[in-house]
Structure 1
Amino acid sequence: MVASNSTAKTPRSKKSAAKTAQTTEQKLVQLLADTPVQIFPFSRLTRSELNTRIIAHTEGEVEEMANSIEAVGILQNLIGVDQPDGTIGIVGGEGRRRGTGILVLRGVVDADTPFVPVKILPVELAVAASMIENGRRKNMHPAEQIIGFRTLQQDGKTPSQIGALMGFHPRHVQRCLKLANLAPALLDALARDELELEQCEALTLADSHERQMQVWEDAKAQWNGRAPVAHTLRKMATDDKMPISHPMFVFVGEDAYTAAGGELTADLFSDKDSTFVDAALVRSLLDGKLTVLAARLKQEQGWGWAEFRMTELRGHGEDKEQYRFAMPQGVLTDDEQQRVRELEDAMDGCAAYEDEYELQQTIDDIYCEATYREATPEFRAAHGIWVSWDGNDFQVQPGIRRLTEEDRHQEEEARQARENASNVITYTTPEIPADAYPATLVKAMSAERTLAVQAELAGRPDVSVALLTWTLCMNMFQRPNYGHRQQPLKASVTSSQHFLSTLAPSGEAGKALMSLKAQREAIQATLPENWDQDFAWLLTWSAEKVNALLGFCAAHGINGLQERLYNRTDASELDNLEAALDFDLRNWWQPDAENYFGKLKITQIGRAYEDAGMADRAGEVVKLKRRDAAQAAAKDLNAVGWVPDWMVRSAPAEQAEEATETVTETTDHAA
């Protein structure tokens, strides 16, 4: 069975791991102490892939190292390994090597003159020494530790051996190695701090690099370019999988799944150590297993035919046109009737639901046995069974009769006879003409008709716009007739004005809401009588009037609410729209003592004064009581048209630079 069902070893305590790590480091330090220093020229030193530092020193840091080396020399030796081409690969001290290279370029040091102190270690200890050396000098980034563990694994070391060497629990090593299998682009993003560890952990549940990148890009698209949370990534990475606890997988069995080439994907980062499998493969195996089961039941029980489908056979719709339930009614013997009465009496005295359910199952089994007893061999040979999946287990519907054309003809004659006997008048033409034809044919032809109308409408933008406008109006304006209307275009816009006004500080009296209400009343007055019956009247309107009506409806679908999730507020989705509108919030709202400043801390009120260029006044206001400070801010800051910067769209880069230059020029002039 998979690892999640095996007995786990007792986790090593943090104190134990720390002690082992300290011992490992002490051994390597002692080895380095016993290794003699050799002096090499810069020309023999190269960067080594065994160096676990993947986040390089900045150019500024390397320049500082070069200046330090020029002033006082190299105070700490480098660590290297012999390479097949005769060079020395540096696994610890790459920054010092690069700093020396700058001195060579400056002409301070000759590239072929022995100058750089290096201690040579065996290759098998190079990665461990590099990780400890880099970790002591500058805390290693998680991405560097992941790459280091992967390198040790590629050298043939097991997770237990890596853990023993580096002082980590094997579980931690296994997790790092799982992360090491991420797509290179994702590991690079982790190293640049564009991804968090939790996000990477979720992406490991995708089976391939291509799938990982697809999940990441799709999730970002759903989040409008922002980094999605780990929960979203985990859900998307497993949308083509199912947990091994799923009834389908339990029914199929692990042996059959692995024999078919299926792989188990363990979530090493879950506290429950959950494991997932390929859902499509499991469903395929389920189809095969139930098909075999249906054939076996047909053979063993003597049915004429057997079919399997994921869904059960129903007594209506398309199933009713092809099948009939024909299983005979079961007849209980005297002993069975007495047994059922005893079980029903026992159910009345049950205190627990589980006991009642078990007794009911026994009763159902008695009736089922009686029903099957009535199905004679001749009956079974003329009928079949239907096998399906009910979500938790397979189910069998026995005694199914397939309808023939003769059966349908006989049923129609019987229906006519019943109606004639009851003096029922039958109209040859149904109220809906399509009802006279098979439902499958009507559905197929309606699909054909829909495609043809779409193609025609695609070339008629005037009708498309009119139809869209009319459809949106149905939700926007009070309608003269409230019956059902045929609306072929499935589009809608929902006005959230009432909800927004309950949140907005200005409430029902806000300038924006009052303007929208006035526009609604004016437009409503222009709509023709019975405008909701069809949209043909819009084709007589000018394009300008139609666009005005469409624009009014579309505006009500705008939603710019910002929520705070996981202590982070979503960015506003209104910036681009405001830029297109050349929108200025000051034209619609200004903060006052009650709706804004009264909700701020006194320091935030002072900062608002500073943002408005009134730093001197800020010093006076912050000494007031908060209520007085709020009233003062409403008076002073509204006089200069100030609004909070986080409620205004960011200026384009060009405008920001111009504003900075203007401030600089003003300051220089004043000086």
Structure 2
Amino acid sequence: MTNNQAATETFFAPLNKLDRDPKNVRKTYSKEGIAEMAATIRADGYRLLHNLIVRKGDKRGRFFVTAGGRRLAALSLLAEAGEIAKDYLVECKERNEAEATEISLIENTSVEAMHPADEYEAFRVMADGGKTVEDIAARFGTSETKVRKRLALARVSPVLLDLYRNEEMSFEQLSAFTVSDDHAKQVEVWNSLPSWNRDRRSIRSALQSDAITASDKRIKFIGGIDVYEAAGGTVKRDLFDERNSGYALDVGLVEKLMADKLEAEAEKIRAEGWKWVECVSELPREAHYMSRLYPASVPITDEQQAELDRLEEEYAEIEEMIEAGVADDEAEPRAEAIQARMAALMEPSEAYDPDGLAMAGCYVLMDYYGNLSVERGLIRIEDEPDEADDEAEGADSIDEPVTRQDEEKQEPVFSLSAAMVQELTAQKTAIIRAELAHNPEVALAAVVHAMLTDLFNSYGSNDETCLEVKVKSERLETSIKDPAACKGIAAMDDLKENYGHTVPGNPRHLWDWCLEQPTATLLDLLAYAAARSVNALQLPHFERKVQRAHAERLARALKIDMTLWFEPTADNYFGRISKTGMVQAVTEAKGADFASGISGMKKADAAAFAERQVAGTGWLPALLRIEPVSESGEVGLSYPEGDDCPFDVDEQPDIENDDFSDAAE
């Protein structure tokens, strides 16, 4: 036997005679990693799958562990816990000191980690073989949640797992498929989605097209996902989305629970005496054109007034006793109770006219936010009183005669010529203009009224105003890939919903309502309407140079911090530009050194890398920056270097010859 052969034979050494080798190239081990290794050793009967590689130590009978430092640490952990003896015999192989560093380096660099997909399938094989989640977690020293996630990933279609192995799919995309166990549907969804729209959110949405998320307003309306589960509904939960409580799979049950809640409320409303009460999924369009019955203030009754007088006298007596220092311990609580009752009696109350209840009705529905809503006092056209019909007909008359003789005399009706009508109405228009020009309060109400009739769809056309003030609002959702994630659109939607609950639903009531509002309210509405008309879009067929230059000035006047509204991510920016653009972005944000490796990455990895590097730096794409004013007073419109600019930024716009036809449509 040669010396080399003798050196490679195995032998057993006591655990307390083994030390970490200072020549071991790995110096750091994580506590979690050591705990996991200890769990695997424990599960295998405290045996090692691979022997330790050792060399003789500095002292007689001791050995340095050249390869297997983590296994040594795990065994020491088990010994400290009393699971094995401190002198537990460990199987080792001995090498000489000259080879120590080389052996340690080989062990720590030559072993290739298992591909995650292979690990997922290995977990599935163990589960299929009868191992419980708890057993697997204990075997590998990991959490049960981690095991469940790996098992969920293992249930994804083998076709998609192969794509993940071949780096044609990201982990984020793969994890999105765990919300469904239908392999055929998983593959169908992947193939049907365009490459630019295969983000996790889109995949989950496509897979759960027949399910309802726990955050959906319908689930909120019925009282939450727990109410649905208590009614026997099935829930599918996404292990990879900690913010989501799951998906309700029984859409029919959700609809039934919603209908039951609406009908229960409708029964209460019917007891109030309305002519009709209907449950609807959304407010019908015709409701916006119905007349409306409003409650009137109810005066205090004689009985209530008598009670109020008695309470006032009692309260005065108690106050005197308290001031004189002769009141008992019950005086102050009684005084507080009297104050509360007096406040309740003096609280103004409202009630509907009984005659009005006999001709009006209510709609019971779920509002935009998932709350119960009742629209009371709506009068259908067929239920309008005759007097109201007569007034409406008179208001719609255009060619009203100046005078009409008694029909019994059968004299001809006198009416004006068309030319005379036009001239007199022109005179009237001029007079109204002159007066309005000197009444800014009414003018503000008139402008807001005209703008609102344009913006709120329920008002239909702009025929309700004589002002030729029109508001055009470009629909931005069609130009944004994920409009739901746009903070600006969300903020404007919230405002619209808020004003929708404030502004009257009937256009015939809007004018009087505007006249009654304070200036502050009208100015808020004017700002909202003006905001809806802002259009800084650049379109392929219409550059809008002049308008976009003004938008820059407007943004500067508003002192907007764009970083509060937009943060570039792989989804909304980097994943949709070239790697050259990513390099430029990271260079501008962090410096050229940070961007040097992007060109060699796969595009998805490069986009994720760019997102991480730019995060928190305040960097924005050039088109989202608020450009400074130049010395000439002009606001520039810059483009990223290397990108194709659709027009010459140095060219001065020709206002007279520029084509504004698209804006006028």
Does TM, scored on the shorter chain, surpass 0.5? no
**Interval of TM-score (by shorter of Structure 1 and Structure 2):** 0.3 to 0.5
| TM, length-normalised to structure 1 | 0.38
- TM-score, normalization: structure 2? 0.38
